[in-house]
Amino acid sequence: MVMRGVRWGAVALVAMLVGACQVASNPNAPRKLTDDVSISGQVAVADVKALHAQGFRTLVNMRPDGEAPGQPDYGQMQGAAHDAGLAYGYVPIKPGAISPTSVEALGSTLSRMPKPMLLYSEAGDRPARTWALAEASRPGGLDAAAIERAVKSAGQSVDDLASQIAARVAARPKH
């Protein structure tokens, strides 16, 4: 009897640890860049109320409509955000190079919408990369090393953007 109990206890412990690893590696789980900005993978309509309960005040959809089958579109997500009491921003960015216009649009969204906010796309990479460039352009923003650390701590990379980040930080207006 004792062995059976020990065996089931071990099975339960392993199951709990595997579950914890799956949650930790969930690409849709919010990951902080700063106290005010987090990123995640795709958000579903059903997730919006829980995100509000986690303290987010704004959702920013960075995924173009129709990018993948079954993906909720702008109108669905805007409605869900509104119903949950969240502000909603839409800065669609196609995979690939990030345009200066997209960086400016995100920078404007970040400066005018309530925080904390969650930026999302399919896997969180576009929000992290675009945020890095927008933050590097923001007067009084983080320095290049801090931006790169924030993105890496959220599980993304901006190694290929290091020179752009540094150039944007250097071009900030001096006070």
Tell me if 4 is assigned to some domain: no
Domain for residue 122, yes or no? Answer: yes
- Domain that includes residue 160, residue range: 28-170
For residue 10, the model assigns a pLDDT of 42
Q: Report CA-CA distances (Å) from 82 to 65, 85, 87, 88.
A: 18, 5, 7, 7
The answer as to whether 17 is a domain residue is no
Instruction: List pLDDT tens digits, range 42-97.
Output: 999 999 999 999 999 999 999 999 888 888 999 999 999 999 999 999 999 998 88
Looking at the domain assignment, is residue 15 inside a domain? no
How far is Cα 76 from Cα 94, in angstroms, rounded to an integer? 19
Give domain status of residue 23, yes or no.
no
The verdict on residue 144 lying in a domain is: yes
Instruction: Please report, for the domain that includes residue 133, its CATH number.
Output: 3.90.190.10
Sign of CA dihedral 99, 100, 104, 110: positive
Please state the domain count of the chain: 1
Contact 145, 116 (CB under 8 A): no
Does residue 92 contact residue 78 with C-beta atoms inside 8 Å?
Answer: no
Average pLDDT, the chain: 87
**Dist CA 65 CA 80 (whole Å):** 16
pLDDT value of position 50: 95
